[in-house]
Homo-oligomer: A and B are copies of this chain.
Amino acid sequence: MPSSAAVRLQSRVDKFEDRRRELADAALLTLADLGYARTSLRTIADKTSFSHGLLHYYFADKIDLITYCVRRYKDACVQRYEGLVAEASTPDELAAACGNGLAATLADAPLMHRLWYDLRSQSLFEEAFRDDVAEIDGSLQDMIWRLVRAYADLTGTQPTCSPSAAYAMFDGLFQQALQRHLAGSETALDDLRDSSRDLLPRLFV
């Protein structure tokens, strides 16, 4: 049983963490709208009801804030996608679910994905982003690889490419679809659905 001091400490930490989440969720809207480079702590504060000092009270700096935001979102994203893909019982069903899942994920919150790619690009320049980006990339790669292995189980065959290559190709399709979708293309989502459905079997030849 924890001491009462420990309980107090815990609840204080929880409260701090809750508030962080609250601020992050509010900030995420502005961040997703304007992107990393164009968003200042002041802009975020103006668009919410918080003061700019408060953000600095809960987050060490801009980098701390944005990585917290994106990490939070991507976790939810992976979890959601896993659900969409879990039910397939034949290879074709799984391939279709893969395409549908990616298209649905993209359609659901394109601006969030845009922010993710923004953050990943920034990490190529800003050392401070690298670790968090690598971790998110890793979780996405795992997500894709679970999909590939599920397909392998259903077909009784073995994939002929590495996990990172599989992730890279799906990611390329997804990123291009996002780009076209945001540019107003009507067919971007359907193309993503088709091309990612077709990609899955290609990984086994």
Contact = CB atoms under 8 A, between A and B. Distances in A.
A116 to B, nearest CB: 10
A63 interface: no
| Copies of this chain, tallied across the complex | 2
Contacts of A167: 176
Given A195-B162, A205-B205, A121 B117 contact: yes
Contacts of A198: 160-161, 165
A53 to B, nearest CB: 24
A118 interface: yes
A161 B198 CA distance: 8
- Give the most central of A122, A168, A203: most B CB within 10 Å: A168
A172 interface: yes
Of the candidates A36, A121, A170, the one having the most CB atoms from chain B within 10 angstroms of its own CB is A121
Contacts of A195: 161-162, 165, 168
